[in-house]
Amino acid sequence: MLAFVYAIVMQSQKYKYRRALISGLFLFLIQLSGLAQSEEKVLTQSKGDDRHPWWSPDGERLVFESNRDGDWELFIIDKDGNHEEQLTTNSFEDRNPGWHPNGAQIIFESNRQGRFGLYLLNLNDRSAEPLLLDNFNLEPTTARISPDGKSIAFSADSDPENAALNLYKTSISGGAVTQLTRAAYRSFYGAWSPDSQQLVFFSRRDTEGQQDELYTLNINEPDSLAKRITDYPQHDFCPHWSPDGKKLIFSRSIPDARPELFVSNIDGTGARQVTFTLQLGETQAVWSPDGKSIAYAGYRNGSYEVCTLPIRD
C-alpha cells in the first residue's frame, strides 16, 4: 500500500497535486496508527454546537451548553452518552455551565434578566436563582466554583473595545467581589487547582494582545506574581488542572488546522500532544474527577460535539 501511494506521489507531475497526496498520505498514516482518537466516545449528535462540558463530582455525568434549538441552553448527559436531558428551555443565552462540588447545583451565566449575570440552577426542580454581586456592573462569564465549594472565580470585560477581560472572585453565596488581575490585555478562563489556592488561566498580557499564553496565579498573591508557563508562537488556551494537582490540559492552536489538546506539568514543562485530528479540532478540555478521562468539545461532522477520551500518564 505505501509503495503504491509513494509511486503515485512520485509520478504526479504537478507539485500542488503531489503536495495534496503527501498530506493525504500523512492523514491516512495518522488514522492507521490508531492514536488516541480510536478510544474517543462522541456523546452528542446534534447539528448545533455542543460545548463546554463539565463533569459531575461523582464522574458519572456531564453538563454542557448547546445551541441546537437556536439559542444556548444547558443539557446533562451520562458519561456513556445515554439519558440526555435538557435543563433549560427559553429564548435567552444560558452558557458556560459548571457543576457545584455539592452535586446538586449548576452554576452558569445567562442574559435572562437583560445583562449577563451568574445563576445557580437546582437540579431537583430546575429552578435557577441569580447570584447577586455587590457593586459589580460588568457582565461575568466562565464562572467556576472552587473544589472546596467556598469561592467562585469568573472573568469579566472591563473594556469591551479592547477585550480586556480580567479575573475576579467572590464567595459561593456572592456578595463582595475581589479583582484578581489588572492587565490591559485579556486574562481569562480561570480554572482552580485542586487545593482551591491557585488559578490557571490564559492571557495576552505579555504578547501585546497578540497571542494567548498560560499563567498560574495564587489567589492570595498580587497579579504581578502571576507565573507565565507557556511560550509558544501560537495560542495556548482553555486550561484545566488535573485532580491530582500535577498536570494541566489545554488547547493549542495549530497552523492551518484546528486546535489540538496538550498535557503538561503545572510549570508548563513536558508538554505532549494527546489528540491528533488535524482538521477536526478539540477545545475546552476538562479532567474527570478520577483523572482517568477527559471531556472536551470536539469538532465532528460539521459541528461541535461533547466527547470523552481515556488519558494515561
Residue whose beta carbon is closest to Ca ion: 303
Q: Residue 86 interacts with Ca ion (CB under 5 A)?
A: no
Q: Residue 65 interacts with Ca ion (CB under 5 A)?
A: no
**What does the alpha-carbon distance between residue 206 and residue 211 come to, in Å, rounded to a whole number?**
9
Q: Residue 111 interacts with Ca ion (CB under 5 A)?
A: no
Q: Residue 282 interacts with Ca ion (CB under 5 A)?
A: no
Q: Which of 75, 86, 80 is nearest to 51 (CA)?
A: 75
* Helices 2-11 & 15-32 angle (0-180, nearest 10): 170
Q: Residue 113 interacts with Ca ion (CB under 5 A)?
A: no
Question: Minimal distance in Å, beta carbon 180 to Ca ion?
Answer: 29
Q: Which of 289, 233, 244 is nearest to 266 (CA)?
A: 244
Question: Minimal distance in Å, beta carbon 129 to Ca ion?
Answer: 17
Nearer to Ca ion, 77 or 167 (CB): 77
Nearer to Ca ion, 50 or 212 (CB): 50
Question: Minimal distance in Å, beta carbon 271 to Ca ion?
Answer: 29
Given 54, 62, 63, 73, the residue binding Ca ion (CB under 5 A): 73
The residues with which 109 forms a beta bridge, in sequence order, are 95, 118
Stretch that binds Ca ion, among 28-36, 86-94, 129-137, 284-292 (CB under 5 A): 86-94
Q: Residue 305 interacts with Ca ion (CB under 5 A)?
A: yes
3-state secondary structure of 249: strand
Residue 192's CB is within 10 A of a number of other CB atoms, namely 22
Contact by Cβ (8 Å): 165, 133:
no
Question: Minimal distance in Å, beta carbon 48 to Ca ion?
Answer: 5
Q: Residue 84 interacts with Ca ion (CB under 5 A)?
A: no
Question: Minimal distance in Å, beta carbon 259 to Ca ion?
Answer: 17
Contact by Cβ (8 Å): 79, 40:
no
Given 146, 170, 216, 303, the residue binding Ca ion (CB under 5 A): 303
C-alpha cell at 284: 475546552
Question: Minimal distance in Å, beta carbon 250 to Ca ion?
Answer: 22
Stretch that binds Ca ion, among 3-11, 94-102, 200-208, 222-230 (CB under 5 A): 94-102
* Near Ca ion in 25-64, by CB under 5 A: 46, 50
CA distances from 26 to 1, 6, 42, 105, 282 (A): 13, 12, 24, 45, 19
C-alpha cell at 249: 490540559
6 Cβ partners below 8 Å, 6+ apart? Answer: none
Q: Residue 71 interacts with Ca ion (CB under 5 A)?
A: yes
Q: Residue 283 interacts with Ca ion (CB under 5 A)?
A: no
Q: Residue 90 interacts with Ca ion (CB under 5 A)?
A: yes
Strand 227-228 relative to strand 213-218: parallel, antiparallel, unpaired?
Answer: antiparallel
**What does the alpha-carbon distance between residue 253 and residue 147 come to, in Å, rounded to a whole number?**
29
Task: List the x/- string, 217-236, binding to Ca ion by CB under 5 A.
Answer: --------------------
Report CA dihedral (35, 236, 248, 103) to the nearest 10 degrees: -100
Nearer to Ca ion, 46 or 197 (CB): 46
* Near Ca ion in 121-140, by CB under 5 A: none
Q: Which of 40, 44, 173 is nearest to 52 (CA)?
A: 44
The residue ranges that bind Ca ion (CB under 5 A) are 46, 50, 71, 73, 90, 92, 94, 303, 305
